[in-house]
Chains A and B, each alone.
Chain A
Amino acid sequence: MKLDSKIPEGPIAEKWTNHKNHLKLVAPNNRPKIDVIVVGTGLAGASAAASLGEMGYNVKAFCFQDSPRRAHSIAAQGGINAAKNYQNDGDSTYRLFYDTIKGGDYRAREANVHRLAEVSANIIDQCVAQGVPFAREYGGMLDNRSFGGTQVQRTFYAAGQTGQQLLLGAYSALSRQVGLGRVQMFNRHEMLDLVKVDGKARGIIARNLITGELERHSAHAVIIASGGYGNVYFLSTNAMGSNVTAAWKVHKRGALFSNPCFVQIHPTCIPVHGVNQSKLTLMSESLRNSGRIWVPKKKEDAEAIRAGKLKPTQLKEEDRDYFLERRYPAFGNLVPRDVASRAAKERCDEGFGIEANDTNEGVYLDFSTEIQNKGRQAAYAQGNHNPSAEEVTKLGKKWLEEKYGNLFAMYEKITDENPYETPMKIYPAVHYTMGGVWVDYNLQSSIPGCFVAGEANFSDHGANRLGASALMQGLADGYFVLPYTVSNYLADEIRTGKISTDSPEFAEAEDSVRASINKFLGNNGSKSVDHFHKRLGLIMWNKVGMARNEKGLKEAIAEIAALKDEFYKEVYVPGSADELNPELEKALRVADFMDLGQLMAMDALQRNESCGGHFREEYQDAEGETLRDDDNFAFVSAWEYMGYDISKEMLHKEELKYEFIKIAARNYK
């Protein structure tokens, strides 16, 4: 199969404009004759559905939650990047483009990333016009902060709830279209198959999660914006319902799946508390603007802390190892996520972890220095040039509360510790997946008429996503890319007419979904879905997690294949098909996670290099930094489904060409 990325010709800064100028259009009078399905209502899905509805297409939007406003974009905390250069610190479209390519360890497509940087400024304008209440300075202008992997302040935010505010903005645009009758909303519906007719995506089979009814929905184009697959690890910062099913069904119907092994392990999450843990909670990267990460310099101090004999606040400055500042002085605590995560793992593996759990895995994120600095600044701003220590501390804490109050409160609720008084304990956790369905420059998958947006596609973040770039990509895809590229595709559909759902293709898809549901419900097993999901998660975390090697990956591939067979034989799913049945929903999702987990291990095994979030122990330098192999691995992997046995999937490669950025070693020192 030849992969055509359809990257337009011409200089990088003109590609998108030229491309847009030559895309085909659908006249306003023809748009109401055309149906579009959007699966998922996060930033990418909601913005796409709203925009296409505004244009005049008939849009059907689907989400599995009880309201589109609940999609997991809502949980993004820290911010959204945009090359506005409001802070006059040298930012530009080029810088954002460059930082994102470098942050992705030179495994993303140049043209896609440049387009993302170009439209970033429009996103902020659009959101402000919609009434998104971003943080502002006293002069009334928008405030910014820094995120990892950059040396400018280009991140816009709304306290620690930026994702919430942006999603509610997109939800408001979507709600407006629903109210106007241009978008039909299907809450509590889950897409369980893609329907192809004559090779084109022509609809979906969706299950009404309340009644259990299987519904046929036809359309001239289908957009998948169903998010990422971090829950393959069972424990992640994803919502409990986040799943890969929509994306995986598209893959099973012929869309290639790219770079599945590129997973982002976020450095600052609350450590695991015990065996009944259901999910992990992120502490926003924005905290690394103000917090310093450390472990004790001496092992005996780490042991004493774990035993509860020593408090972190009692440890002297010279006995603390601020390991990120030590190893990466240029970026310090604001190195990219993959780098920060590995550095924390390295310290814990060496025995310096401070958390008293089974694995001793945890490091400190300490705000005491910032309390002093900001407290002094605040005192000066009030005209008090000789503040007492108490005044400084009080003002410093107030400053922290204003910036991060909701995060500090959340931390205290979960851990019962007060982070204003004692450093936070944090450890890396699965957070985001850079891999996803392969798409061309138009965000179209290898199935004509099936487009994939947001985290569900692979396109913009290479092997590691920079902080505050996911929100940017979701809205860029939905507001500013898909409306053009989907219209270009639909221009050839104006004569097609309504697509019937009575065709054999719809019947076949519905039957296969019904068969898989009945198989689970009729199974004579004895173990819960979670039992298998947790076992899958452990294999993934231990062998396809932060550090990977050939032996572990080969073991993982065999173990997952065996676990999948056992799952189908031994799983017990209670209840029936014609009712709200959360266990059935989980079983259908875990079945897809089993397939994907195995493919992730296979992808990690073939990639004999370390890059971004993919760290192969065999490929590191003397200081433990990643060793990329640009001669052999500067490509996007794209896997083709070949049936039940995942080990038979076929690998295709899209070569990455760097014409505008010189490919170089990634250095944050």
Chain B
Amino acid sequence: MSAAKNINITLKIWRQKNAKAKGQIETYKLDNVSTASSFLEMLDQLNEQLINEKKEPVAFDHDCREGICGMCSLYINGRAHGPDTGTTTCQLHMRKFNDGDTIYIEPWRSKAFPVVKDLVVDRSAFDRIQQAGGFVSVNTSGRTIDANAIPVPKHDADRAFEAAACIGCGACVATCKNGSAMLFVGAKVSQYALLPQGKVEATQRVLNMVRQMDEEGFGNCTNTGACEVECPKGISLENIARMNREYLKASLK
């Protein structure tokens, strides 16, 4: 383990009072940041400093701080979730930065994700896409068939799991020049398309989810692949291809 040391940094952070206000970049100096700290612990340290100066702390979304809840976001030095690959902002550590660095921090920027305040955005469009079809219509009776009654090939189960590992953070949308949500929607469509339990409603599901995605104002996919690069969970572009096949099949029915 490289021993932790302290670094001094300059932060350029997007500040915006509320959804209607005009925002701007503000500059902050922050000293003695341990390289063992996470990026969000660095922001905690900044906020502690601001509070002690009786200034308003920076609002940012975060919760689990272990890379699974999908609540944290942030555009860091022009990249969704910062410079590390396969990493959420909460799992990014300050050892990836150097003494004297200037770090730019902005919110997700996408038409479908309006800024709420500072670095906080509204991602409820994702929930509405799920509500349109991201489920299997089975009631919670507890009287379904035995879990082992339908064998699922391990390969299919593993692919379904990989697609289902999406944390819904929105990095794919934020990083896409078109603001497309195809990776997010493709992952959910794929999870169910790969499992026998999801096949029954496959046609309606993909049509409904894609319709809602379009209504929310997300852009189209032009296959730049930026989403796959920035996805902290490594969700594959294959999922978009699979969704397109599912959509075509459904449209022809």
Contacts and interface: CB of A to CB of B under 8 A. Distances in A.
Interface of A: 47, 50-51, 54, 65-72, 74-75, 84, 86, 119, 122-131, 133-142, 158-159, 161, 163-165, 168, 171-173, 175-176, 178-179, 185, 187, 210, 237, 239-241, 273-274, 276-279, 281-282, 409-410, 413-417, 479-480, 483, 526, 528, 530, 572, 574-575, 579-580, 582-583
Contacts of A410: 66-67, 91
Contact of A133 (B59, B68, B86, B191): B191
Nearest to B197: A131
Contact of B116 (A86, A273, A580): A580
Contacts of A168: 164
A274 B4 contact: yes
Nearest to B161: A133
Interface residues of B, number: 84
B190 to A, nearest CB: 11
Nearest to A156: B147
Given A72-B64, A129-B138, A139 B93 contact: no
B151 A173 contact: no
A526 to B, nearest CB: 8
A139 B151 contact: yes
A156 to B, nearest CB: 8
A564 to B, nearest CB: 20
Contacts of B124: 66-67, 187
Contact of B48 (A185, A413, A530): A530
Contacts of A282: 66
Interface stretch (B97-105, B127-135, B242-250): B127-135
B83 interface: no
Contacts of A159: 161
Contact of A178 (B66, B87, B131, B153): B131
B123 A67 contact: yes
Contacts of A68: 127
A574 B54 contact: yes
A74 B69 contact: yes
15 contacts: A65-B63, A68-B127, A72-B64, A74-B68, A122-B142, A128-B147, A131-B197, A131-B198, A159-B161, A163-B68, A172-B134, A276-B37, A415-B1, A579-B18, A580-B120
A130 B154 contact: no
Main secondary structure of the interface of B (DSSP, over half): loop
Contacts of A134: 147, 157
Nearest to B91: A413
A66 B71 contact: yes
Nearest to A132: B164
Interface in B118-160: 120, 122-124, 126-127, 130-148, 150-154, 157-158, 160
Contacts of A273: 4, 34, 36-37
A125 B4 CA distance: 48
B222 interface: no
Nearest to A580: B117
A579 B143 CA distance: 46
Given A66-B123, A140-B151, A179 B131 contact: yes
Given A66-B124, A67-B127, A410-B66, A126 B34 contact: no
B68 A75 contact: yes
Contacts of B40: 278
7 pairs of A and B residues whose beta carbons are closest in the complex = A140-B151, A122-B142, A179-B131, A172-B135, A129-B144, A133-B161, A133-B160
A159 B164 CA distance: 12
Nearest to A237: B66
B56 A125 contact: no
A40 to B, nearest CB: 13
Contacts of B68: 74-75, 161, 163-164
B165 interface: yes
Given A67-B126, A72-B64, A124-B147, A480 B142 contact: yes
Contact of A240 (B63, B131, B139, B192): B63
Contacts of A47: 140
Contacts of A241: 63
B126 A125 contact: no
Interface in B23-67: 34, 36-38, 40-42, 44-45, 48, 51-52, 54-57, 59, 61-67
A582 B57 contact: yes
Contacts of B1: 415-417
Contacts of B142: 119, 122-123, 125-126, 479-480
Nearest to B37: A276
Contacts of B64: 70, 72, 74-75, 239-240
Nearest to B95: A416
A583 B153 CA distance: 49
B44 A276 contact: yes
A605 B171 CA distance: 49
Contacts of A72: 63-64, 69
Contacts of A54: 139-140
Nearest to B208: A179
